[in-house]
Amino acid sequence: MFFLDHQGTVKLIFQPAEEGQGGAYYVLQEGVLDDVSAIFGLHVDPALPVGVVSSRPGPFAATSGRFLATVTGKGGHAAMPHDSIDPVVAAATTIVSLQQIIAREIDPLQGAVCFLLNYTFVLVFFVYCKI
């Protein structure tokens, strides 16, 4: 085991804002890891009983990323759907396609997650009448 044979200083690093708010960025910017030759990470796991520590070799944690996508359509009339662009269908197709990256592009023996958290749809209806 690494720690049995390792000589040197041990650093305990408590990363702020570790759930995606850029905490790791500031840890790196401050040079906290500049002289580190190895690192062992811990994370709270609410599925484990109190006092239990679990681990395995290799990477096993995920990270998060954020993006904002705006899907804009083109209004139309129900009698002529082929002349419109439905943004709800486009957004739904995008969501399903992102989920399929994991199912069809990633080796099933590799850990991968694609989780989309928040969707907001703003629909505006316009009906034009010629008299």
Domain segments of the chain as ranges: 1-64, 67-131
**Cα separations (Å) of 46 from 17, 50, 94?**
18, 9, 32
**Both tokens of residue 2?**
């690494």
Give tens-digit pLDDT for 2-39: 455 667 777 777 776 666 667 778 888 888 888 887 77
Give tens-digit pLDDT for 54-70: 777 776 666 677 788 88
Residue 1 pLDDT class (50, 70, 90 cuts): very low
Distance CA 24, CA 16 (A): 7
Contact status, residue 61 vs residue 43, Cβ threshold 8 Å:
yes
**Cα separations (Å) of 6 from 9, 23, 38, 124?**
9, 27, 9, 63
pTM summary value: 0.51
Residue 93 pLDDT class (50, 70, 90 cuts): very high
